[in-house]
Chain A
Amino acid sequence: MPHSYPALSAEQKKELSDIALRIVAPGKGILAADESVGSMAKRLSQIGVENTEENRRLYRQVLFSADDRVKKCIGGVIFFHETLYQKDDSGVPFVRTIQDKGIVVGIKVDKGVVPLAGTNGETTTQGLDGLSERCAQYKKDGADFAKWRCVLKISERTPSALAILENANVLARYASICQQNGIVPIVEPEILPDGDHDLKRCQYVTEKVLAAVYKALSDHHVYLEGTLLKPNMVTPGHACPIKYSPEEIAMATVTALRRTVPPAVPGVTFLSGGQSEEEASLNLNAINRCPLPRPWALTFSYGRALQASALNAWRGQQDNAGAATEEFIKRAEVNGLAAQGKYEGSGEDGGAAAQSLYIANHAY
């Protein structure tokens, strides 16, 4: 083995580590507002709004005009490329508004999934070409972190060894390039909840995927203290007939992470997948009350689970903007509490009852 060729200087490492810690400071999580034009089309059509650049700008304005209450629960916002260069009605760039609240600005940098030939409908993610130059530009334009989403799915023969290896590798290349440009990479290996598999199967697959991801990150000399992980929670498939409590989901999730995510990683920011707003909060709360030792911050990076009510309240009407913003602030505050295990829930009888529902971890 040749001598190591340090990928980053001490100053670069410190900058990356400080950014990551700011994003996942206690009680804070991420607003994933990086829906692509295509994804926004789906969201807007559900509320009968036309998918124009102006409507997308107006909608993001609803979110970003939230008052100082979000300062204590939002540590970072992920932007889509278009949004990074948009301004509010008074001409103030969105990036500035977010930064002025002390929130870190992030940018989605992947370019979507492409098929892996010879597999059962599996994919990898593209976006590596010219990534370094794009990162350098985004850094100048105010972004301090990035996000790249890989997708895996569970079925009879998937995820295959190729899908796991290829996605882990592409995530590691992306992470390495980001760090070279002063950008903290959020590593997102999402295992879709589609299917009828049970909780145990999802846990097993999640452990295999995360082990491969961290091996690839090590192989690519990525500085773990300057990264964040955005995984799925461990849940049953959508079509699974068995129902599980938030405590079971929490125990399975934390067990999987404890077996695969090195303590050097400062924070794990869960995606919400198809979960409802309340489910996503209850599960995050249970995760933060799980009795197993957890050396990383466990918080949120939610898209739909932070925006569903806001979107619905807005419905494209400027008169509804204030009410819509309130809906967003409400979910942000709830998730800020859940990230500390302090959310009492709507109708939940509180900590004591929930605690007894945790099954001993050796069952997982």
Chain B
Amino acid sequence: MAHRFPALTSEQKKELSEIAQRIVANGKGILAADESVGTMGNRLQRIKVENTEENRRQFREILFTVDNSINQSIGGVILFHETLYQKDSQGKLFRNILKEKGIVVGIKLDQGGAPLAGTNKETTIQGLDGLSERCAQYKKDGADFGKWRAVLRIDNQCPSNLAIQENANALARYASICQQNGLVPIVEPEVLPDGDHDMEHCQYVTEKVLAAVYKALNDHHVYLEGTLLKPNMVTAGHACTKKYMPEQVAMATVTALHRTVPAAVPGICFLSGGMSEEDATLNLNAINLCPLPKPWKLSFSYGRALQASALAAWGGKAANKKATQEAFMKRALANCQAAKGQYVHSGSSGAASTQSLFTACYSY
């Protein structure tokens, strides 16, 4: 083994580590507002709003101009490229509005999927070309973290070894390049919930995927203390007939994480996938009440699960701004409480009733 060649100086490590910790401090989580133009098209179509740059700008403006107290529950916002350079109606840059609230600005860095030939419709992710220069520019333009989403699916012969290795490797390259440019990489290896597999199978696959991801990060000399993980929760496939309680989802999820994610990682911010707003909050709460050791912060990085009600309340009309902001604020607060295991939703008697539903962890 050659002598090591340090990838980062102490100062670089300190900066990255502090950014990561700020994002997930005190139950804070992330608003994933980085929907691409195409994805925003899907969202807007549901509320019968035209997918124009102005409409996208207006919706994001409503979210970002909420009361400053949002900074108690939101530590970071992920932006899409276009949004990083947009301004509010007074001409103020969104990224400055967010920074002044003490929120860390992030940027989506991947450039979508590409097929892996010879597999059962599996993909890898593009975006490594010129990534270092793009990161340097984004850092100058106010971003302090990046996000890159790799996608794996459960199906016949999937995920294959190739898909796992290739996506883990691409994630590690992206993470390494980000850190060289002072950006904290959010590492997102999403195992899709599509399919009729049960929760146990999702747990098995998630463990294999995460083990590969952390081996790749180690091989690529990535500084774990300056990263965040954005995984799926461990759930059954959408088409699975068996139903599971939040406590079971929590136990399976935390078991998988504690078998694969080193304690050096400061925070794990779950994606919401196709979950409803309430399920995403209930599951996160159960995760934070899970009796297994949890050396990382367990928080959220939600897109739909933070914005669904807000979008519905907006309907494309400026007059609905207040209702939209209230809807968003409500979900943000709920998820912040869930990230501390303190969420009590109507109809539940709180932590005591949920505690008894945890099955002893050795069954997982």
Interface on A for B, CB 8 Å cutoff? 1-4, 10, 13-14, 17, 154, 157-161, 164, 200-201, 204-205, 207-208, 211-212, 214-215, 218-219, 224-225, 255, 258-264, 293-295, 360-363
Contacts and interface: CB of A to CB of B under 8 A. Distances in A.
B204 interface: yes
Interface in B1-43: 1-4, 10, 13-14, 17
B264 A259 contact: yes
B1 A10 contact: no
28 contacts: A1-B154, A1-B159, A1-B160, A1-B161, A1-B208, A3-B201, A13-B362, A13-B363, A154-B1, A157-B1, A201-B4, A208-B218, A211-B215, A212-B215, A214-B211, A215-B215, A225-B259, A258-B264, A259-B218, A259-B225, A261-B263, A262-B258, A262-B262, A263-B294, A264-B255, A264-B259, A293-B295, A360-B14
A267 to B, nearest CB: 12
Interface in B198-249: 200-201, 204-205, 207-208, 211-212, 214-215, 218-219, 224-225
B157 to A, nearest CB: 7
A9 to B, nearest CB: 10
A182 B158 CA distance: 32
Interface residues on B, range: 35 or more
Contacts, number: 103
Nearest to B15: A362
A175 to B, nearest CB: 14
B293 interface: yes
A263 B200 contact: no
Task: Give the dominant DSSP class at A's interface.
Answer: helix
Contacts of A218: 207-208, 211, 259-260
B261 interface: yes
Interface of B: 1-4, 10, 13-14, 17, 154, 157-161, 164, 200-201, 204-205, 207-208, 211-212, 214-215, 218-219, 224-225, 255, 258-264, 293-295, 360-363
Given A1-B158, A211-B218, A158 B1 contact: yes
B261 A262 contact: yes
Contacts of A212: 215
B4 A200 contact: yes
B14 A263 contact: no
Query: Top 7 closest A-B pairs, CB basis?
Result: A218-B211, A211-B218, A4-B204, A204-B4, A258-B264, A362-B13, A215-B215
